[in-house]
Amino acid sequence: MTPPPMGNSAAARDIASVLHPYTDLKAHQETGPLVITRGKGVRVYDDQGKEYIETVAGLWCAALGFDNERLVQAAVRQMRALPFYHGFTGRSHEPMIQLAEMLLERAPAAHGGRMSKVFFANSGSEANDTAIKMIWYANNAWGRPQKKKIIGRVRGYHGITIAAASVTGQAANHKAFDVPLPGFIHTMCPTYYHAGLPGETEEAFSARCAEELEKLILAEGPETIAAMFAEPIQGAGGVVVPPRGYFPAIQKVLRKYDILLVADEVICGFGRTGNYWGSQTYDIEPDILVCAKALSSSYLPISAVMVNERVFEALATKSHEIGTFGHGFTYSGHPVPAAVAIETLKIYDEIDIVGHVREVGAHFQAELRRRFHEHPLVGEVRGIGLIGAVELVEDREARRNFDPARKVGAKLVKIAEAHGLICRAMVLDSIGFSPPLIITKPEIDEMLDRFGRALDELAVQIR
Ligand code: PLP
């Protein structure tokens, strides 16, 4: 363990002052932070000048890397033109209008046709809380006040505000926080690797997932269930790729009981899976779509909730009856992040982000499998496009993970750091990859070279 930093260093000041998100707060008092000072392309540098490849683009988000000057200039221009305005009581401004138009133009097919309108928030969590409130509001408009329960999935991640954390299906987000709230329920995680039965095809497994969902709906009462939230690929839950036929099977069940589907595209949106939307990769036609992160390449906080015509009509009718749609953030559609998002989407078009991800993503997926599939510590290699994971196991044959108390994933992250790699360990020691979308083939090779060295070193340390 690194000794606690002394004196007036950034690390010592951090320990003395910062309460960190997603950190063992007690251990942090001993271990201290990794202080990052700058970035260039897919790399970041710490306060000692050490260079790292960012294998997860920060938090699956800095899609254009860490030094895009056009995004900086877009922010500066907008700061000068109009540094703040809002959308309350029908006020508007050009960046909010243009960004909404651009998102609707690019939106995937929606249930019942196309996406109709866009609401802006600042984070994925806020956007998901917004979607939940919209769903409750719409069901009140539709005269079915009892149809309010929300289904999430085990290992799903939708954020940490109270409602979003309730849809999230991960223990660390629930334990000691007194969530999930009543009315939030979870269906099984579609992990074929762990939950598929011997001899069961992916399609048969998908059908079983859909049956499980239907059983849950029937047990609760379909008249009480409003919506289901799903990430096209479960990201923070360990990059769980849906088995073949999963979403069509799930959607069939949801439609049978008039349950809305929210596609949480906070990670999968904007090319990550090799299509503009994960919904296109996995045949999802959502009623509501939530996006954030790569929307602005995360240079400034902004998220969006797109709703289809049916949902919009319900919101419009009810708000007219009440006199206002009583929901909105001071910074909803803030002009500066909106301007940065517009520039981001323009860049994606210019560099053909989808074409690029398809090309380098094929290389990334092939190399990830070629290099690590047979590694003694690796149970499964999975992913698509520029998102992937390597799951570490103690027993490859039995698909048995390491005892979580051994913190094998966290050990690997620490070793990888020494090899110039910032990695992310998740549940069941799944090491996620979600590099900046601009990554090149040589950079992918360099990233995987370093990862391979770290993995081999881990093997020596833990055996
Ligand atoms: N939804 C998904 C799929 C996410 O991956 C995340 C964050 O990682 C969120 C929602 C929450 O977003 P935020 O951290 O911006 O609140």
Cα 190 from Cα 352, distance rounded (Å): 31
C-alpha–C-alpha distance, residues 335 and 81, integer Å: 9
Nearest CA to ligand 1 atom 12: 124
- Rounded CA-CA distance 235/18 in Å is 27
Q: What is the pLDDT of residue 4?
A: 57
Between the CA of 304 and the centroid of ligand 1 the distance, in Å, is 12
| Chain centre to alpha carbon of residue 189 | 16
Residues 228 and 250 sit within 8 Å (Cβ to Cβ):
yes
Mean pLDDT of 323-352: 98
The side-by-side arrangement of strands in the sheet containing 184-187 is 115-121, 303-308, 288-291, 260-264, 225-230, 149-153, 184-187
Write out pLDDT tens, residues 115-138: 999 999 999 999 999 999 999 999
Give the pocket of ligand 1 (CB within 6 Å): 59, 123-125, 128, 157-159, 231, 235-236, 264, 266-267, 292
Per-residue pLDDT tens for 154-205? 999 999 999 999 999 999 999 999 999 999 999 999 999 999 999 999 999 9
> What's the residue count for the chain?
463
DSSP 367-379: HHHHHHTT-TTEE
CA of 335 to the centre of ligand 1 (A): 22
Residue 463, pLDDT score: 80
- Position of tokens 């909803």? 332
Q: Which 3 state secondary structure label does DSSP give 261?
A: strand
Model pTM greater than 0.95?
yes
d(CA 317, CA 300): 33
State pLDDT tens for residues 28-81.
999 999 999 999 999 999 999 999 999 999 999 999 999 999 999 999 999 999
Residues 6+ apart with CB under 8 A from 354: 271, 274, 275, 276
Stretch 297-314: mean pLDDT = 98
Inter-residue contact 294 to 270 (CB < 8 Å) = yes
Dist. CA 157 → ligand 1 center (Å): 7
pLDDT at 5: 59
Torsion sign over Cα 385, 114, 125, 139: negative
Instruction: Give the span between the Cα atoms of 382 and 211, in whole angstroms.
Output: 25
